[in-house]
């Protein structure tokens, strides 16, 4: 019997996985990640939420709003400390506060400028952090106006910062001497800002401690948007985004064709990086066991001896047996059905995305070849609290008196260390709360620089209040509903950077692959199908050491034709041998 897509066991009983805890921590420690969750999930009801593998999106959304509230509260305090005195007639107080905040900001700029001047940060092809709010951003700003090759301009900028700081100090002292009562009020406001910093820092660390220890992270009552996201993350159907058509691409854009079955963009949204695939798919003619000299029309089955869903069910049961082993040798395998459909097809036919799939619907999709709904048997195996999730997707179809089997494997790697640091020694507990409070006070100049971002939170809050909870159930003109981003994928380490865990993950993928192949062989034999060609292809796949890691495949030193030769240097030959051994 077909089993429908259900949340993992731990999530179903309310116990969050390690990946869920780390993602909830990430919205507190990484503002860019928090903005991603709020902008692309919490306030984007016109996009489908990507399937969740090894984590629950609902607590991540919940804590993203909490983290945004803490940050917005501190920045509103900074802005209000200037605006409220100015509007209430206490202009000297506002001037004093502006001078104090500006001095802190100049102090931060001076430190950043000194660090950039002392040692240039090495360039990276794809810097992960952009903007002027980082050291890298300040370096680009200084290079734009004051290039590093001109030391006199560097010294001139330092003098300008010193002059500005002296002017602000002189202005503040003058106002304080003329209006001593306003100076006392400004000191009280500054103390309030300091207390707010201490309170926000301590509260943030308390929330991190709670995330690490809480038996459940889901809120007691889900909002409308959270309920919609919860349904979509566990839905059988995933709406993927097709790459842009070549006619829609901008002129001059590089066309780097990937030597993969699915192109340069994986359609398996949320599953992670595509690391392995059968390219091309396996094609097995449905022939009866007989001598090779027997004519084809006598050997082949004019009517397939089985339906595609029967093979799927047999493979499902074969993989589910892995969960019955003892704990010390058990390979956890979660088997589900997954249906992928392109967002452009959904825009033309809304019936491709029903609210629910019953058994008859799934069997019709599996048994119908050439449909716009692509069914895959999804086998997921998590490890280390779902910090690593390997997924094998198998597609089966019957067409032209031939069985077609294709497989792809995706991997979600671990989250950044900053998301996991709360679990390290000294980063949780009462002492950590006190240190976090003072750390927030020390980083006050950073909050002053980013205080303008309060506009983003007001805009996001307005979107959440005005927009409906789900806009994907009804068609909207010129709006496609496919999933654009997966918060788990965006925080995942790239596959090429994975080290010791790589062999374990590849071993799990090979174990599942071998079991699927042997189970398919047994099924075909039971149905009276000659499996000699299938066994030959399966043997090549099992013994294959070539893994497509999702990178561009470069072929160097090739020669075509009789007596063709390629001359390479010793260094190039060594590189070629090393890469060949690595594959």
Q: Render pLDDT for 198-213 as a digit per residue (tens, 0 to 9).
A: 999 999 999 999 999 9
- Residues 409, 275 contacting (CB under 8 angstroms): yes
Does residue 495 have a pLDDT over 50? yes
- Please check whether residue 389 is in contact with residue 373, taking contact to mean a CB–CB distance below 8 angstroms: no
For residue 319, which phi and psi values (nearest 5 degrees)? -75, -35
Question: Is the predicted pLDDT of residue 37 greater than 70, yes or no?
Answer: yes
Distances (CA, A) of 471 to 51, 242, 421, 429, 467: 17, 20, 37, 42, 9
- Rounded average pLDDT over 84-94: 91
Residue 205 covered by a domain: no
Could you tell me if 378 and 516 are in contact, meaning their C-beta atoms sit under 8 angstroms apart?
Answer: no
Q: Which SS3 state, helix, strand or coil, does residue 380 take?
A: strand
- CA distance linking residue 335 with residue 317, whole number of Å: 9
Answer yes or no: is 506 within a domain: yes
Which of 127-131, 150-154, 357-361 reaches the highest mean pLDDT?
A: 357-361
d(CA 162, CA 167): 9
Q: Pseudo-torsion of CA 412, 473, 2, 307, nearest 10°?
A: -100
What total number of domains does the chain contain? Answer: 1
Instruction: Give 139 or 410, the one with higher predicted confidence.
Output: 410
The answer to whether the beta carbons of residues 463 and 90 sit under 8 Å apart is no
How many angstroms separate the CA atoms of 437 and 432, rounded? Answer: 9
Within 10 A of 210 (CB to CB), how many other CB atoms are there? 12
Q: Which two tokens stand for residue 282?
A: 């396996």
- Lowest mean per-residue pLDDT among 312-326, 350-364, 553-567: 553-567
Question: Is residue 454 included in any domain, yes or no?
Answer: no
Q: Average the pLDDT over each of 145-149, 227-231, 317-321, 392-396 and give the range with the smallest value.
A: 145-149
User: Can you list the alpha helix ranges (DSSP code H) found in 223-352?
Assistant: 224-233, 296-299, 308-320, 343-348
Range of the structural domain that residue 274 is part of: 235-243+258-416+486-554+567-582
Residue whose pair of structure tokens reads 């199908």 in the numeric block = 529
What token pair was written down for 192? 């309030």
Instruction: Please give the pLDDT value at position 107.
Output: 87
Contact by Cβ (8 Å): 58, 230 = yes
User: Which of 59-63, 235-239, 323-327, 519-523 shows the lowest per-residue confidence on average (mean pLDDT)?
Assistant: 323-327
Any domain includes 102: no
The tokens of 227 are what? 């309920």
Residue of 298 and 506 predicted with greater confidence: 506
pLDDT at 9 over 80: no
Q: How many CA atoms lie within 13 A of 92 on its CB side?
A: 15
Q: What is the pLDDT of residue 109?
A: 81
Q: Give the residue-averaged pLDDT of 313-320.
A: 95
Instruction: Go through 242-264 and write b for each residue having 16 or more CB atoms within 10 A of its CB, e for each that does not.
Output: eeeeeeeeeeeeeeeeeebebee
Number of C-beta neighbours around residue 478 at 10 A: 5
Does a structural domain hold residue 358? Answer: yes
Q: Rounded CA gap, 152 and 50, in Å?
A: 53
pLDDT tens-digit map of 262-273: 767 789 999 999
Residue 138 — very low, low, confident or very high, per pLDDT cuts 50/70/90? low
Q: What is the pLDDT of residues 330-345, one digit of tens each?
A: 999 999 999 999 999 9
What is the pLDDT of the chain when averaged over all its residues? 83
Residue 143: inside a domain: no
Distance in angstroms (rounded) separating the CA atoms of residues 457 and 251: 36
**Residue whose token pair is 């629950």:** 56
Local confidence band at 5 (pLDDT 50, 70, 90 cut-offs) = very low
Higher-scoring residue by pLDDT: 227, 261: 227
Give the model's pLDDT for residue 257. Answer: 47
Computed from CA positions of residues 453, 455, 460, 464, in that sequence, does the dihedral angle turn out positive or negative?
positive
By DSSP bridging, strand 402-412 and strand 388-399 are antiparallel
pLDDT score at 295: 83
What DSSP designation does 453 have?
Answer: G
pLDDT of res. 573? 40
Beta bridge partners of 377: 337, 394
* 2 vs 449: which has the higher pLDDT: 449
Give the mean model confidence (pLDDT) for residues 554-563.
48
Give the residue, 466 or 152, on which the prediction is more confident: 466
Q: Can you tell me the mean pLDDT for 96-119?
A: 80
- Give yes or no for residue 143 having a pLDDT over 70: no
Which tokens sit at 102? 């500006």
> Taking 80 as the threshold, does the pLDDT of residue 352 lie above it?
yes
Under a CB-based contact definition with an 8 Å cutoff, are residues 494 and 70 in contact? no
Instruction: Calculate the dihedral angle through the C-alpha atoms of 289, 290, 291, 295, rounding to the nearest 10 degrees.
Output: -110
Strands 273-277 and 402-412 turn out to be: antiparallel
Domain contains 538: yes
Domain membership of residue 53 (yes or no) is no
């Amino acid at each position: 019997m077909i089993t429908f897509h259900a949340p993992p066991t731990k999530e179903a009983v309310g116990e969050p996985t390690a990946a869920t805890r780390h993602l909830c921590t990430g919205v507190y420690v990484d503002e860019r990640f928090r903005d991603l969750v709020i902008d692309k999930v919490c306030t984007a009801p016109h996009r489908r939420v990507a399937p969740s593998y090894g984590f629950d999106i609902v607590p991540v959304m919940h804590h993203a709003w909490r983290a945004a509230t803490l940050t917005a509260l501190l920045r509103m305090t900074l802005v209000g400390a200037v605006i409220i005195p100015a509007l209430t007639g206490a202009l000297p107080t506002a001037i004093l506060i502006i001078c104090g905040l500006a001095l802190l900001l100049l102090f931060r700029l001076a430190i950043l400028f000194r660090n950039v001047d002392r040692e240039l940060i090495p360039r990276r092809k794809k810097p992960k952090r952009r903007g002027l709010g980082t050291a890298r951003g300040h370096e680009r700003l200084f290079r734009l106006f004051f290039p590093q090759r001109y030391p006199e301009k560097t010294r001139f900028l330092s003098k300008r910062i010193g002059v500005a700081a002296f002017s602000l100090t002189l202005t503040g002292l003058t106002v304080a001497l003329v209006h001593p009562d306003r100076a006392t009020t400004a000191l009280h406001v500054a103390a309030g800002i300091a207390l707010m910093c201490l309170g926000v820092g301590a509260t943030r660390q308390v929330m991190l401690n709670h995330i690490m220890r809480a038996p459940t992270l889901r809120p007691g009552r889900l909002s409308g948007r959270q309920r919609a996201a919860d349904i979509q993350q566990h839905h059988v159907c995933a709406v993927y985004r097709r790459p842009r058509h070549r006619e829609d691409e901008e002129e001059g854009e590089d066309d780097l064709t990937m030597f993969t079955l699915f192109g340069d963009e994986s359609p398996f949204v949320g599953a992670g990086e595509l690391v392995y695939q059968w390219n091309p798919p396996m094609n097995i003619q449905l022939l009866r066991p007989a001598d090779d000299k027997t004519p084809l029309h006598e050997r082949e089955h004019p009517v397939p001896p089985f339906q595609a869903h029967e093979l799927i069910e047999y493979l499902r049961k074969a993989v589910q047996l892995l969960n019955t082993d003892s704990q010390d040798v058990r390979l956890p395998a979660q088997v589900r059905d997954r249906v992928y459909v392109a967002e452009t097809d959904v825009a033309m036919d809304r019936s491709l995305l029903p609210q629910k799939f019953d058994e008859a619907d799934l069997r019709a999709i599996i048994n119908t070849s050439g449909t716009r709904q692509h069914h895959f048997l999804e086998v997921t195996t998590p490890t280390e609290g779902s910090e690593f999730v390997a997924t094998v997707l198998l597609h089966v179809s019957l067409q032209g008196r031939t069985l077609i089997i294709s497989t792809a494997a995706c991997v979600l790697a671990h989250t950044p260390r900053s998301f996991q640091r709360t679990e390290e020694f000294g980063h949780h507990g009462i002492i950590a709360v006190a240190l976090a409070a003072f750390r927030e006070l020390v980083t006050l100049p950073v909050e002053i620089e980013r205080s303008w971002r309060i506009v983003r939170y007001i805009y996001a809050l307005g979107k959440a209040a005005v927009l409906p909870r789900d806009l994907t159930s009804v068609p909207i003109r010129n709006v496609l509903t496919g999933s654009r981003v997966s918060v788990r994928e965006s925080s995942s380490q790239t596959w090429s950077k994975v080290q010791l865990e790589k062999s374990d993950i590849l071993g799990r993928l090979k174990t599942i692959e071998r079991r699927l192949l042997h189970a398919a062989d047994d099924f075909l034999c039971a149905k009276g199908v000659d499996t000699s060609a299938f066994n030959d292809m399966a043997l090549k796949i099992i013994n294959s050491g070539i893994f497509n890691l999702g990178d561009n495949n470069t072929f160097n030193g090739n020669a075509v034709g009789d007596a063709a030769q390629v001359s390479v240097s010793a260094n190039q030959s060594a590189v070629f041998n090393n890469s060949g051994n690595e594959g």
